[in-house]
Amino acid sequence: MTDEQLQALVIQISQQFFKRPFLHQARFNHRLRTTGGRYLLQSHDIEINPKQYKVHGLEELIGIIKHELCHYHLHLQNKGYRHRDQDFKKLLKKVGGSRHCKTIDGMRTEETVKYSYRCERCQQLYLRKRKIDLQKYVCGKCSGRLVATNLKNELQQL
């Protein structure tokens, strides 16, 4: 699917489900990694993760477009466009948009995990994006002491 085809699909979904025109740009953004799409507040454009379409198909893509169009139309009407707002929740339910996108293999594992820690007492494994202060934090399961481990070895064992 090209950006032009995506633009046409967004315009069609906007008319069909929201009864309002979509007057801005919709495009694929290959740099999106952990999200299905995003609505840009400044330009009012919508960006979609093309991997979602390639992996999960048209139905998932339509759910993501509906979600982003909820942000779009509510923001332009000066209503609650954030995820926590009741206006957003009601409109999303009404049009049948997806609340969360499906994950793509590799989307949240090796690409984002940089550190691993293991509890000395119960052996609970913690994978993290950011380094944590081992003097400050303890195991959430048994309150045991955490130690840094070799990330590559931990990922191979999974």
Q: How far is CA 63 from CA 5, 83, 100, in A?
A: 16, 15, 9
Beta-strand (E) ranges in the chain?
26-28, 37-39, 46-48, 115-119, 125-128, 146-149
Measured distance CA(132)–CA(148) in Å, rounded: 9
Task: List the Cα angle 101/78/12 in 5-degree steps.
Answer: 50
Measured distance CA(134)–CA(87) in Å, rounded: 42
Instruction: Examine the residue annotation and report whether 68 is marked as an active-site residue of this protein.
Output: yes
Question: If you search the block for the tokens 């759910």, which residue do you land on?
Answer: 63
- Give the burial class of 44: count Cβ atoms within 10 A of its Cβ; 0-12 exposed, 13-18 middle, 19 or more buried: middle
CA distance 150 to 100: 32
- Catalytic-role residue among 4, 68, 110, 120: 68
Would you please indicate which residues are annotated as catalytic (active-site) residues? 68
